Amino acid sequence: MLVRTLLSLALVAVAVSGCSTQPVAVVKTPAAPTKHVKAETPAPAHQAKKKHRMHKQESGILSLDVFKENHKIHILTGINDQGVSTLQYQRSDDQGRSWSIPVNIAPQGTVFNFRRGNDSQIAAWGNNVVVAWMNRGYTNRHGSGPMSVAYSHDQGKTWSLGEMAASQWKNGTHAFMELTANEKGMHFVWLDSRNGKQGLQYAHSINGGETWKPETTLDAKTCYCCWNTLASDSQNNLYALYRDKEPSDMALIKVAANSGVSKRLARVGAFDWEFQGCPHVGGGLAIHEQGNQVQLHAMVSTMKPEKAGLYYLSSSDGGIHWTPEQRMGQGMAVHSDIAVNDSGALLASWDVAGPNGMSIVTSQSKDHGKTWLNETVLSKPDRDATHPKVVAVDEGFLVFWTEKVEGGSKQLQIKKLN
């Protein structure tokens, strides 16, 4: 059964102070059946012993990830349409002006666990594209299950099921996954509770996602349910931004390119927030390099009562020391992302709660984060819009998010800011 793609786009350009937004080409529904992986979906080990009633999923695009590789932009969307779920891949070779026909990746009959903030993931390098998703589990009320990985060696035309990256904890829940890629291969982090506490795991593939080296634990005790963010510098060093525990502040770990040795560098925002629950919010991370200087830009949040909100910080020494926290957003800003272009200009985006739901807001900095321009609301007031993703392109930035009207399905919106 061919599932209808639900990608949509606002077709009216919106003028804003200091910049303009432009519509990006609408992606067409494929006219012919798409290619599927010929493999079985792994099932939870104890599925038959105990089942929990699963909450009915919404319709539309329930998962979104975007990955920029040089001038290519890769999109992975998780779609639920009339009870049938698909995972679709698309690519733009022209900075988002046009998009390839969607390709359904996962095996037919796969039961996904799609949710914004715990999105399926994508990364690409050269001809290799890797995706990872969480399968629906049946042993906990959230429906969390084991991961699956699929890879393509022909730029996303055909797909095969790869080896599970969590080779030492195959039956456990694998959640809040993040993928990135560089000259050293594919890099994968996720959270699982193999040690009794939720921890941050890392695996590395040198054959385009077919197999993975045995995973290592980067931090054995982290937040239970906040997304993680990976970024790579030009020397192929890896940086992982994640929410720590005791306190529940964001932290940064570096994995050295040549040795693979990991080192915790710093807290990113020293709020000293002690919290036993989970805020369900990670952070955003972008890297800009000038000569030998590696500058990191981060968006982090805290719910500590006297400091609750969203903040921007930067580091000019590769993540060891950070600037004081700079408040971003009016009201209660929540989910955020950030991107930097070659000249060092920044675009931060976040969602914020309002009387009619969530709205997507952006702000630009043209001086490496020292000052920020007036905030711009991108989404329409009658939409509930959340979880923005930002990538830099030659003539500005692209902002991706999902939104819905009351009683409708979630749709994808893409806008360009010059």
Helix, coil or strand: residue 225: coil
Nearest Cα residue to 150 out of 170, 164, 166, 136: 164
Distances in Å between the Cα of 269 and the Cα atoms of 232, 325, 333, 393 are 21, 6, 16, 28
Check pLDDT > 80 for residue 403: yes
Distances in Å between the Cα of 216 and the Cα atoms of 176, 260, 263 are 16, 10, 12
Distances in Å between the Cα of 134 and the Cα atoms of 12, 107, 178, 401 are 35, 13, 12, 20
CA distance 67 to 96: 12
- Using pLDDT thresholds of 50, 70 and 90, give the confidence band for residue 136: confident
pLDDT single digits (tens) 299-337: 999 999 999 999 999 999 999 999 999 999 977 899 999
* DSSP tag of 166: -
Range in 13-27, 226-240, 257-271, 385-399 the model is least confident about: 13-27
pLDDT single digits (tens) 168-211: 999 879 999 999 999 999 999 999 999 889 999 999 999 999 99
Cβ atoms of residues 303 and 273 within 8 Å: yes
CA distance 338 to 345: 11
pLDDT at 161: 96
- Using pLDDT thresholds of 50, 70 and 90, give the confidence band for residue 141: low
CA distance 187 to 201: 11
pLDDT at 26: 33
Structural element, H or E, at residue 201: strand 199-205
pLDDT at 83: 84
Range in 6-10, 54-58, 216-220 the model is least confident about: 6-10
pLDDT at 107: 81
Check pLDDT > 80 for residue 143: no
pTM of the model: 0.88
Structure tokens at 77: 């969307």
- Using pLDDT thresholds of 50, 70 and 90, give the confidence band for residue 255: very high
User: Is the model more confident about 34 or about 408?
Assistant: 408
CA distance 267 to 278: 18
Check pLDDT > 70 for residue 411: yes
Range in 13-17, 123-127, 353-357 the model is least confident about: 13-17
Residue 306 φ then ψ, to 5°: -80, -5
Class of domain 34-221: mainly beta
Nearest Cα residue to 377 out of 104, 1, 19, 8: 19
Range in 15-19, 344-348, 389-393, 396-400 the model is least confident about: 15-19
Check pLDDT > 70 for residue 145: yes
Residue spans per domain, the chain = 1-31+329-418, 34-221
pLDDT at 363: 98
